[in-house]
Structure 1
Amino acid sequence: MTKLSVNINKIATLRNARGGDVPNVVEAARKIESFGAEGITVHPRPDERHIRYADVKDLKPVLTTEFNIEGKPIQQFIDLVLEAKPAQVTLVPDAEDAITSNAGWDTIKHKDYLKDVIALFKSHGIRTSIFVDPVKKFIEGAAETGADRIELYTEAFAVNYAKGDKNAAKPYAECAELAHKLGLGVNAGHDLSLENLKFFKDNVPHLAEVSIGHALISEALYLGLEKTIHEYLKLLK
């Protein structure tokens, strides 16, 4: 079964919009775990516009499932990850002005940089994943960095699938097969939803984990958080 890791950034966004501590991100994460999710994902950014660095420190002691911290490995982020020691760190090449993640790593151009960061995290027992576009040369580059996994950036799939393209998952399937052959685990995330997740999972092999936040929290406004998580888990079985 592919694991579901729920990204709780949007819960933090809602809290920050009003100030105070409602909704409480730690309580939300504990509820999400109790509803059956196998992981919690956060993506702190330097401006702390949603998840704050303090949230990461508050979450770590109470989570009972896998904790995945995403972000660009600037020094502040590296220090946070080494302090929190999550199960997994996912390296994302965030542009400073990006609203959300909008590209994967060029693992060839940045190979030496990634190798150094990954070696550091792995020396502390943290599983490493690299956020990549479904491009075979970047999958091969990821393997050369020493990463444990890749996370396939699925926005293009979601856009093309919504247009009726039945081949939308093909490049992802090919990259997943290549990653598996190279000894890399396969994660995926970005714009996956109740509408497109089953098709993606049915057509992309070796899928270990999906990280879903925006769509899941949005759908929960209509269905309720517990029911929405159960619907995702059914699709992933």
Structure 2
Amino acid sequence: MASLLRSASRLNGLTGAARRSYASVISPGLVELHEVEVQPGRLKDYLRLSASADAASPQLPAPLGTWTTDLGASSNRVYRLRTWAEGYKERDAAQKAVQANSEATLALSQADACTVKLASSIFVEASSTLSAVGLPGLMGFEPVSQDKDATVAYELRSYQLKLGYTTVPRFLELYQEGLKDKLAADTSGESVLVTLLYCEAGAANLNTVLELWRHRSLHGGQVSREASRSAAGWKSAVGQIAAEVAVSFQTQILRPAGGGRLQ
């Protein structure tokens, strides 16, 4: 695992064909995304109390990342991401252990008291799609140390696809072909695709697909997008996705708020 993480760190500085030598992806199992609407004026309280709840709940896997919303539907929204390597069996056992831990349940209730709404969804990582273009996925991604500064932004991009069993596979087929061209065209080094997820259960609608990108800055993300516009294969793929399988598309800008290695 340590060697994989070192390789992932080097990958962030690579573009084009050089990425393809890092094609090994370790599946994260199930990926759980928590969407938390915090009471106005209580954002700092929630972040502090949720960090305390994590510390009091060793039965739960540590969050990979915690983000506040900079540009999005609500400035009081927090996103938290954790993984279950062994799936629902591990999740059920962990929740049962937490319920038996009085310190953990108290800490969790204190954090929940700051919230208006709690929602969670289970996603699966499209590991084979990421591997095909030489990206390491969630378990291999590691921000390089010099990038850990206050300007870093994450972009959560959400596609709602048409209902049906074939729409997600078709989306992934089109996306993979276009992404190869996009990555080759963007030599800026400003943006990295952290993960690509599709919904299995929970609050998110079925056939929801998420992209999570890490930008060195918002300006860097804009530079990366402009570079991608020269990629004919990417433009073609996006056009086909829009015409064949997509119903809607949304994007939000998130800021790291501690609580995980995705900073």
Same fold (TM over 0.5): no
Q: Highest CA radius of gyration, 1 or 2?
A: 2
Between Structure 1 and Structure 2, which shows a larger proportion of strand residues? Answer: 2
Between Structure 1 and Structure 2, which shows a larger proportion of helix residues? Answer: 1
Q: Which has the higher contact order (CA 8 A, sep 6+)?
A: 2
